[in-house]
Each structure stands twice: as structure tokens, then as C-alpha cells.
């Protein structure tokens, strides 16, 4: 086969350092759009990006030349720099992250889930959500 074809989609989740609610509503959507630009610059597909004041969810398709760890490093580094340039002092992402593969049949469901983060977190904390993600993905 002369070329490489992939369908690898990841649901990536990471939080602010100390889970501080520092991602403010007035610029949150702009941050998400910037993260989408970072992904596009790596030739990745940004399917959905959302979150609340203390964390981000990303649904992305990565190409064959990207590693997951490298993509997350670029996203965190670039977005952290953007946040600092927009006047937020002492901002940092937490060191770790969660990444879960998503089958093509579940892409729309995960896109809706990410788009509905603000409403979702009226009922559940990030910590509860993350534990649920870990439990669900182990099944």
C-alpha cells in the first residue's frame, strides 16, 4: 500500500494547575479557537473544543506523523503562551492529561458532550467527570 490512512480520534482532557477556575468566560471561546489553530498548524483535525473555567476538552484527529504526547505538549505550550499574552498572570496547565480514543460511530456523541460542557458542569464537578471518564473508558 503506497500511502498511510488513519482514523485515530482522541478525546483529550486537561485542567488548569491546581484546578483553578481561571479560564474566564469573556475569552474562553477565543482560547478554544486558538487551540483549534494550534491543531490545524500540526495538520490535525480539530473536531470539537470546549470546557469551563478550570479545564479543556478536545476532540481531535491526529495524523500519522504526530504523537499524542507531542500534540498535547504543543497545545498546552502554545495556549499557555497565548493566555499569558492576554494578561493572565501565573497561569499554567496541570502536568498530566487524559486521552481516550473515540470510535467513528461515537464522534457526534462526543462532539455534543464537549459542546455542552457548561451545562454539564452545573451538575457535576470536573473531578467527578474525570473519574467517570476513567471508569467508562475501562469498560
79 occurs within a structural domain: yes
Task: Tell me if 3 is assigned to some domain.
Answer: no
- The CA distances from residue 53 to 42, 61, 62, 103, in Å, are 26, 24, 26, 28
Tell whether the torsion through CA atoms of 63, 67, 68 and 74 is positive or negative: negative
Q: 3-state secondary structure string, 69-112?
A: HHHHHHHHHHHHHHHHHCCCCCCCECCCCEEEEECHHHHHHHHH
Task: Specify whether the CB–CB gap between 55 and 13 falls below 8 A.
Answer: yes
Question: Containing domain of residue 101, as a range?
Answer: 9-137
**Can you give the pLDDT at residue 120?**
66
Query: How much is the pLDDT for 119?
Result: 77
Identify the pLDDT of residue 1. Answer: 58
Could you list the pLDDT tens digit for every one of the 139 residues in the chain? 577 777 889 999 999 999 999 999 899 999 999 999 999 999 999 999 999 999 999 999 998 889 999 999 999 999 999 999 988 888 999 999 999 999 999 999 999 989 987 776 777 667 777 666 767 654 3
Contacts of 126 (CB under 8 A, 6+ apart): 15, 19, 52, 54, 55
Identify whether 88 is part of a domain. Answer: yes
Considering the domain boundaries, does residue 1 fall inside one?
A: no
Looking at residue 139, its pLDDT comes to 36
In a domain, 37, yes or no: yes
Please tell me the predicted confidence (pLDDT) of residue 50.
95
Residue pair 97/13 in contact (Cβ under 8 Å)? The answer is: yes
- Only one residue has cell 504543543, namely 74
> CA-CA distances (angstroms) from residue 101 to 8, 60, 77?
7, 10, 22
Has residue 107 been placed in a domain? yes
Domain presence at residue 4: no
- The answer as to whether 43 is a domain residue is yes
The CATH code of the domain that includes 99 is 3.30.70.1290
pLDDT in the model for residue 118: 75
**Domain total of the chain:** 1
Cell numbers for 80: 499557555
Instruction: Output the CA–CA distances (angstroms, integers) from residue 89 to 7, 82, 85, 129, in the order listed.
Output: 38, 11, 9, 27
Amino acid at each position: 500500500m503506497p500511502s498511510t490512512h488513519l482514523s485515530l480520534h482522541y478525546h483529550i482532557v486537561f485542567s488548569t494547575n491546581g484546578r483553578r477556575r481561571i479560564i474566564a468566560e469573556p475569552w474562553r471561546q477565543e482560547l478554544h479557537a486558538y487551540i483549534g489553530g494550534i491543531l490545524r498548524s500540526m495538520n490535525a483535525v480539530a473536531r470539537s473544543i470546549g470546557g469551563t473555567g478550570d479545564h479543556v476538552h478536545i476532540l481531535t484527529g491526529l495524523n500519522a506523523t504526530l504523537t499524542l504526547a507531542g500534540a498535547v505538549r504543543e497545545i498546552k505550550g502554545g495556549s499557555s503562551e497565548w493566555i499569558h499574552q492576554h494578561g493572565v498572570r501565573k497561569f499554567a496547565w496541570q502536568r498530566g492529561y487524559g486521552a481516550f480514543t473515540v470510535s467513528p460511530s461515537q464522534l457526534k456523541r462526543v462532539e455534543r458532550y464537549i459542546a455542552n460542557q457548561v451545562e454539564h458542569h452545573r451538575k457535576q464537578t470536573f473531578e467527578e467527570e474525570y473519574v467517570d471518564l476513567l471508569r467508562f473508558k475501562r469498560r
